[in-house]
Amino acid sequence: MNIHNLSKDTVLKNLVTSDKGLSETEAAKRLHEYGLNEIKEVRKKSLFHRFIAQFTHFLAILLWLAAGLCLLSEYLHPGEGLVSLGIAIFGVILINAVFTFVQEYRAEKAIEALKKLLPFNVKLSRDGSTKEICAENVVPGDLVFLGEGDKVPADARLIESNYLMVNNAPLTGESDTRPRSHEAFEGDYFESPNIVFAGTHVVSGSGRAVAFATGMSTEFGKIAHLTSGVQERLSPLQKEIIKVTKIIAVIALTTGIFFFVLGTFIGRSFWHNLLFAIGITIANVPEGLLPTVTLSLAMGSQRMAKKNALIKTLTSVETLGSVTVICTDKTGTLTQNKMEVQEIWTLSDSDALRIPSPLRGEGKGGGEAWSGISPSPSSPPVKGGESYNMLMQAASLCNNAVYDNGKYKGDPTEAAILKAAREAIGDMKAERIHEIPFDSERKRMTTVYKWEVGSGKWEVKEKDLLTSTSHFLLPTSYFSFTKGALETVLPLCTDILRDNEVKAISEDDNNSLMHTYHSMMDEGLRVIAFAYKEIGDIEHRIQNTDNPPLPPFSKGGMGGFDIESDLVFLGLMGLEDPPRPEVPDAIEKCHSAGIKIIMITGDASRTAVAIAKQIGLVKNNPVVIEGHEINVMSDSDLRGKLLSDEIIFARMTPVHKMRIVTILEDEGERVAVTGDGVNDAPALKKANIGIAMGLTGTDVAREAADIVLLDDNFASIVNAIEEGRGIFENIRKFITYIFASNIPEAVPYIAYVIFNIPLPLTIMQILAVDLGTDMFPALALGAEKPARGAMRQPPRSPEEKLLNFKILGRAYLFLGPIEALAGLSGFFYVLHSGGWQWGTMLPSHEVLYMQATTACLAGIIVSQIGNVFACRSFKDSIFRLGFFSNKLVILGTAAEIILSALIIYHPWGNRIFGTAPLRADVWLLLIPFSIGLLLAEELRKYYARRYSNA
């Protein structure tokens, strides 16, 4: 079936549907027959393959080699006990693989669960009424409504279109927009303008289409193998962690080889040296680092979701922490997006009337302020009120919002305007025959209505919109109504309606109008201008011309007649959108954190400045740049303006926003940008962090963004930045914690080689720390709240690495040696108590030796308990933070103690890890080391705070 060749009626007939859509019963049958409308990820790796991959990364290969050497050594030189060590290393590989796989799987499931908070919904007609359903439930034959910002849910044939423009980039890779039309087309199917494909985006206009292919039957589904299962690129953070892990692994391997050679040089046997080399290599390998980082990011994303910021990619959590500039919209982000008409201006014979909106609760129809308002919707307007009534009619008819079931639905600005019109003159009904949609370039919209005479009143028809009432209108067949920004509407006007009379706009009229306009904007109101035009009997005029009949229409005209020229100006509406109450505090946080905020709005400059002052965004006289100025500004000039401390961009388009973001990034700034429209998608992708609006944003914007605000609130961005900063610091905290234990694990092997003593710590005991007792507290550190002063520090430099000398120095040169001292003290204390003589080697199965190595292990574990509290902050005292302020640290420490008890006192633990129960006096010796480490760190923090404040 060449569906693009068919007429509308034939399409509906062939798909067994109607102009009212399917019935719910039929839709359910087709859903069962065709299945869910979803693209299956045909190339996604199975869980088995993803699990196997955990055995083939760099660290795993290193451990495989170590295990292979142990088995080879046992084969060549039996009796050295290396077979058990090889099996133990195999166990390490398995445990690490399982742990990493589980954490990555949990992280993936967490993200999938979060994404379900923003389902892909679609509007369609079923049983003759408009409904909104999840896109996966769309079936062939469904009648789908398409509007600006929508993602097309299925391959569909248009049956109605109104300036519909579609971007086919997701399917073709071409970013240019294509006009769509519902007329039958005889050419190639893929070039047909009456076909819209699943996954493509509506850029502007509107239309209705009937779905004919869903799921894997769509063109998008047919090439799913080219778009599914593509591996995500590694983020800078992931690359850096992998790089750090490899460096440390290479250092560990090099250290092992060095001491193997050193042992050989001083006369140790080959097998002793091999045992040592394997041990010190494993001691320095950070087996649990990567999964711990993954889980930390996942936990951070879940915490941010609770704060209304949905993280689409885990690594965006950390990237937020380095943001230096936020380019934010005004409406709905800094303000509540609860529009309400506050003031209305029209021109009267006596003077310009500037009257409050009826929505303010002031009496309608009473007093001079309300001259010209009908006492009831059914009565004719009184003399002197025609300007007001025509303004309200324009507000009602040049509008795509609807009043349905007691609620106003649609764009917040249009809904507020419709509400004001209904409060003033009641409902209007008319037959709309033409529309030029609003877009960000034109900043206006125009509608055309057909009026018919009936019984002395103008009887009007509406296809599917409003109901009841009638008003006397001027005797003509067609009216056009235009609304938009004053600077785009006023130049189209030659006349102005003064009460009942149309007059040429005089200089006094213009002065009065502009004075009111500026006054409204200075109050922070969004000002909308209205105009109209009597077109006359267009059908008769067209019949006497060479122009085609209605429709189609050329943009800006009908049948060759320009409907956006020689307009009659009606008046102004001032709408208030109150600032969000939490925004001023959020802005103050950003200023303290060294983050620059730039407002980029489509509103007029005076309105933008007024709102900016209300919320504390600007305090002095900011640099204000409007769209027409940026058009003639060179990049170097714009770059200079962006250096200003306070700057606002007004009357901006998405193209302008893209240019601003590009220049900021070229200057080395890390930019977060907000957006909600289709045309915002390029800027959202270009920015370091794209932030889309979840409530008012389009599907296109949400897909392009890294983060989606579930409440459209600027304060949620600031909370997310604070969380991002905290997560980066948390990664450093548990890296410090994990790396600190490498020193007490490595020092015993060095002492074993140099001082000719029994090996103080076995490889199995090292693994008990690295993949056992250390893991729970490390994960708890990943859940630490952002530091108290996180938002009082400047943004992190992009050159600042995750690991630096301060981090490594603190772990390896300060905390680590204290733990090594604790472990060796316990080891020698037990040996000395048992009568050991220096230089005497003990067999591995002797109780004294097992107790001594257990004491060394216990010394490390006890010190790490003190260390986890020390690592909760780099500068703040634990006594200020509170020992119990992070309950997960308490739980992690409790888990560490329980696991340690099982390793030391349970027969299974003794058998697996070569341990033996310890006496109470050994614990009395070791516990002060934990306290001492914490106090030593407190002293270091004291001097760090004192030095940083100097």
pLDDT at 20 over 80: yes
The per-residue pLDDT for 283 is 64
3-class SS at 175? coil
pLDDT at site 411: 78
Active-site residue (options: 150, 155, 329, 603)? 329
> What pLDDT is attached to residue 459?
38
Measured CA to CA, the distance from residue 210 to residue 353 in angstroms comes to 49
The strand pairing partners of 70, in sequence order, are none
**522 catalytic per annotation:** no
- Residue of higher predicted confidence among 844 and 229: 844
Q: Give the tens place of pLDDT for each residue, 670-696.
A: 999 988 766 677 788 888 888 888 777
Per-residue model confidence (pLDDT) at position 55: 84
User: Which carries the bigger pLDDT value, residue 602 or residue 484?
Assistant: 484
- Of 262-266, 423-427, 456-460, 782-786, the one with minimum mean pLDDT is 456-460
**pLDDT band, residue 569 (cuts 50/70/90):** very high
Computed on alpha carbons and rounded to an integer, the radius of gyration of the chain in Å comes to: 36
Higher pLDDT, 458 or 640: 640
Dihedral, CA of residue 363, residue 369, residue 373 and residue 374, to nearest 10: 50
Average pLDDT value for residue range 435-459: 70
Percent of the chain with pLDDT over 90: 31
- How far is CA 884 from each of CA 637, 869, 881, rounded to the nearest angstrom? 54, 10, 8
CATH of 725-950, picked from 3.40.50.9100, 2.40.10.10, 1.20.1110.10, 1.10.1050.10, is 1.20.1110.10
771 Cβ neighbours under 8 A, 6+ residues apart: 92, 95, 96, 99, 287, 288
In this model, does residue 350 exceed pLDDT 80? no
205-209, 349-353, 727-731: segment of lowest average pLDDT: 349-353
Percent of the chain with pLDDT over 70: 81
Residue 118 has pLDDT above 60, yes or no: no
Q: Give yes or no for a contact between 524 and 609, defined as CB atoms under 8 angstroms apart.
A: no
Q: Which residues contact 705 (CB under 8 A, 6 or more apart)?
A: 312, 675, 684, 690, 691, 692, 697
Structure tokens at 802: 């995750």
Higher pLDDT, 455 or 597: 597
pLDDT above 80 for 126: yes
Q: 284 or 540: which carries more pLDDT confidence? A: 284
pLDDT mean over 378-404: 73
What does DSSP say about strands 596-600 and 325-328: parallel, antiparallel, or unpaired?
parallel
Which residues make beta-bridge pairs with 450?
431, 478
For residues 132-136, average pLDDT: 89
The highest-confidence range among 65-79, 534-548, 775-789, by mean pLDDT, is: 775-789
In eight-state DSSP terms, residue 875 is: S
pLDDT of residue 466: 31
Run of H or E residues at 728: helix 714-740
CATH code of the domain made up of 3-34+113-229? 2.70.150.10
- Say if CB 104 and CB 54 are below 8 A apart: no
Mean per-residue pLDDT for 298-319?
76
816, two tokens: 């680590």
Name, in order, each residue with C-beta under 8 angstroms of 360's C-beta and a sequence gap of 6 or more: 342
pLDDT of residue 92: 72
- Judge residue 337's burial from the number of C-beta atoms within 10 Å of its C-beta, 0-12 exposed, 13-18 middle, 19 or more buried: buried
Mean pLDDT over 261-283 rounds to 75
Q: Which of 140-154, 339-353, 690-704, 894-908 has the highest mean pLDDT?
A: 894-908
| Domain spanning 340-576, CATH class | alpha beta
Residue 681, helix vs strand vs coil: helix
Q: Which residue has the higher pLDDT, 617 or 475?
A: 617
Predicted pLDDT of residue 467: 30
Which residue in the block uniquely carries the two structure tokens 């030189």?
77
Higher pLDDT, residue 429 or 41: 429
Q: Which of 183-192, 231-240, 518-527 has the lowest mean pLDDT?
A: 231-240
Kindly tell me if the per-residue pLDDT of 34 is higher than 80: yes
What is the model's pLDDT at position 358?
43
Backbone angles phi, psi at 683, to 5 degrees: -65, -35
Q: What is the pLDDT of residue 946?
A: 83
Domain ranges in the chain are 3-34+113-229, 309-335+580-712, 340-576, 725-950
Question: Mean of the pLDDT values across residues 656-672?
Answer: 91
Q: Is the pLDDT of residue 196 over 80?
A: yes
Tens-place pLDDT, residues 836-887: 988 888 888 899 999 999 999 999 999 999 999 999 988 889 998 889 998 9
| Cα dihedral 473, 474, 478, 481 sign | negative
Q: Residue 107: pLDDT band by 50, 70, 90 thresholds?
A: low
State the pLDDT confidence band at 659, using cuts at 50, 70 and 90: very high
How far apart CA 456 and CA 216 sit, in angstroms, is: 58
pTM of the model: 0.69
| Superfamily of 309-335+580-712 according to CATH | HAD superfamily/HAD-like (3.40.50.1000)
Which range in 393-407, 476-490, 647-661, 891-905 is most confidently predicted, on average pLDDT?
891-905
pLDDT reported for residue 559: 47
In degrees, to the nearest 5, what angle opens at C-alpha 878 toward C-alphas 875 and 882? 135
So what's the pLDDT on residue 177?
Answer: 65
* DSSP β-bridge partners for residue 326: 597, 672
476 pLDDT band, cuts 50/70/90, is very low
- Average pLDDT, rounded, for the chain: 80
- Give the 3-state secondary structure of 299-348: HHHHHHHHCCEEECCCCHHHHHCCCCEEEECCCCCCECCCCEEEEEEEEC
- 412/42: higher pLDDT: 412
Q: What pLDDT score does 474 carry?
A: 42
Closest CA to 447 of 479, 486, 472, 493: 479
